[in-house]
Amino acid sequence: MARTTARPHPPPATAEPPPPRPARRRVGGPWTVAALCAVLAVSAVLAIGLGSAVIAPLDTLRYLWAGTSGGVIGAEEVTRYQITWQLRTPRVLLAAVVGAGLGAVGATVQALVRNPLADPFILGVSSAASVGAVSVGVWGVLGSLGVYAVSAGAFLGALGGTVLVYLASLSAGGVTPLRLVLTGVALSFGFQAVMGVIVYFVPGNEATSTVLFWTMGGFGAATWGSLPLVAAVVVGGIAALTSVSRRLDVITLGDETAASLGVDTDRLRRGLFLLTALMTGAMVAVSGAIGFVGLIVPHLVRIVAGAGHRRVLVVAPLVGAVFMVWVDLLARVVAAPREIPLGFITALVGVPVFVLLLRRRGYLFGGR
């Protein structure tokens, strides 16, 4: 009988593993920051040159160089130089500063209360700051402080509104994010009612226009004297917020999780609410209450840069600055020589953008 040997079976063929997918790069690195800075610079130069009197970009740059270096301008160009340097430049810079501050403050407040609908306007801080500023402008409160009276009034109003919202939402178990948001919304309507009472009891159209300005916002009163203080507060505030970005990431996970990781949520909330009140008061003092910027910008940034606040607090101020520069330009040129309140434009842009975000992404702090 023939003897047969079993041949070993060849190993089964295995399919080649699929090539690895390239990792999705989040926006927010150095190149992104550099690109946004370049876009901001170009936007600022264009915004300074555009208006009822159009100035070419090269002439705008020449006037800006003369203003910063003390250069000489010909007699026939004095008027154009003054329009560029004295009127438009501080206004555009102030718009960039306020936009950056609103983007950073909005992202911070949303993280603190873990609510994507939160911003200084909804929590009542902006409305309270407006009440303080309007009180100074209409009744002369804090008049002894001179040019800083309105800024001081707005800051005290923002601080008082923050304290009132915090105390009203305080319960035996501490401050919960939901109670904080609901209390802020309710008191925001209350602060707006106070401004309505001021209009009713103070005769004259001046009070009405003053309240409208502080309610809807604008940069028509921008000067070189009003820029340094708010810029210092906003830049310093953004730096402080960036330094606690990791703790903001932790607090969005919930108070219990944050406590288990060693984060004192109550202390962090108190400190950051005070800081955001300071920043909001400084911004409202020079621009009035501008809604939707602090609400929309953080959402857009989280979609493209991720939910990590280390990126968000770097990108959101730049995006907010660019956005506000163009909004202010539209406010100046759409109905020239009249000026549209900024709140109208930010609402017209912010409402449809926010609705699209909700419908297309199911968005909540970068997730679904």
Tens digit of each residue's pLDDT (9 = 90 or more) over 80-116: 999 999 999 999 999 999 999 999 999 998 888 877 7
What's the rounded Cα separation, in Å, for the pair 140 and 215? 19
Residues 104 and 241: beta-carbon distance below 8 Å: yes
b vs e for 142-179, b when ≥16 Cβ sit within 10 Å of the residue's Cβ? beeeeebbbbbbbbbbbbbbbebbbebbeeeeebebeb
The continuous run of DSSP H or E covering 17 comes out as none
Q: What is the mean pLDDT of the chain?
A: 81
Helices (H), ranges, the chain = 30-49, 57-69, 78-82, 89-113, 125-139, 149-168, 177-201, 205-216, 227-243, 245-251, 255-260, 265-287, 293-305, 309-333, 342-361
What's the rounded Cα separation, in Å, for the pair 295 and 342? 15
Count the neighbouring beta carbons within 10 Å of the beta carbon of residue 350.
Answer: 20
Tens digit of each residue's pLDDT (9 = 90 or more) over 165-217: 888 887 776 667 778 888 888 898 898 888 878 777 776 656 566 666 667 78
**Mean local confidence (pLDDT), 329-334:** 90
What's the rounded Cα separation, in Å, for the pair 236 and 220? 25
Residue 76 has pLDDT above 70, yes or no: yes
Residue 334 has pLDDT above 90, yes or no: no
User: Token pair of 49, please?
Assistant: 């040159």
**Mean local confidence (pLDDT), 43-61:** 91
What's the rounded Cα separation, in Å, for the pair 295 and 368? 18
User: Token pair of 276, please?
Assistant: 């955001």
What's the rounded Cα separation, in Å, for the pair 109 and 124? 12
Class of domain 94-361 (CATH, top level): mainly alpha
Residue 25 has pLDDT above 70, yes or no: no
Among 189, 211, 191, 190, which Cα is nearest to 200's?
211
